[in-house]
Structure 1
C-alpha cells in the first residue's frame, strides 16, 4: 500500500509539472499565434480583393443585421482604396466532404467576384483538396453576382465555374457558399 501511494505521488508530481510547462508555453505563444493568424487573414483578404489597400471589418451589430440567419458567414470586411469603398470580403464556413471548409470571397462594388481562396479544409488530397488550386479559384474570377453560380465540367456560360473532378460534395459546398454570399451582397450591400 505504501508503495502505491509513493508511485501515485510521483505520477501526480510529473503530471503537475507537465501541465505547468504546457500552461506557460500556451501563455507565451498564444499572442504570437493570434498575430500570425491575423496576418494570414489580411494576406488572404488582399488576394481575394486585390483592388483594395486596406480592410475594415463590419461592426458586429451591422454584421448580424446583414447576415441574418446565414450562420455560415463568419465575417464581412469592407475593402478601401484610400478612402473609397471598392468592395467586400466575405469569410464563409461550409460543410465539405471532410468536415468544415473555410474560404474567403472578394466582391467588387460593381458586383463582380474578384477572387476566392480556401483557408482551411479537411478534404481528400488529390480530390476535394484541389479546391485550393488556382484553376478552381480562377474559374470564379470576373463572374457577376447577378446570376446564380453553377459548377460544370466545361464552363461556357457567364455564371458557370469549373467543377472539381470526383469532388462533388466539395464543389457544391463552395458553390453553394458563394451563392449565399452573392445573395447577401445583392440583398444588403449592392447599391
Structure 2
C-alpha cells in the first residue's frame, strides 16, 4: 500500500495529492497522517515543493470539511435526529448522541472547530455539527482553514525532515496502514453490535 500511495502521488502530482486529501476528509480510507508526510518526503526528494504541499493539502482537506458542513446545514438538527432514530444503528449514532453533540458544540463553537481539525478522530466529523448548528460560514471557514493548515504543516515538515529515514520505515508503514484500517472497521463493528444489543 505504501508503494501504491507513493506512486499515485508522484505520478498524479499535486492534483492527485489534493484529491486524496479531499477524499480522506470526506471518507477516510487513507489517513492524512500517512498522505501528508509522504508528500513532504517527495518534496525533500525534489518531486514536490514544501510550500505547495502544505497549501494543496490544506485546500483539499478544507474542501472536504466544507462538504460535511454543507451536509450538516442541509440536514438540520431535527432531521438528523429523525435519521439517527431510523438509520442511526448502521452509523452507530443515536438521537441522544445528536443531542449531546449539539450541546457540546454550542458551548465550544469556534474553538471546537479549530482544535478538532488537528485531532485524528473528530477532524472530519466536526464540520457536521457546525452545519447543523448553523454556524456562520466565514468564521467556520477561518477556524477550519487555520486548524487544518497547522496540522498539515506539522505533518509535511515531519515528512520533509525524515527524508532518508523515510525509506527505512517504509517496510513498517504497510502493516501500520492495514492495522489502522482494521482497527477502524473493528471499532465500527463493535459500536454496531453494542447499539444493536442495547436495542
TM-score (norm 1): 0.27
**Structure with more of its chain in helix, by fraction:** 2
Larger RCO: 1 or 2 (CA < 8 Å, sep 6+)? 2
| CA radius of gyration, larger in | 1
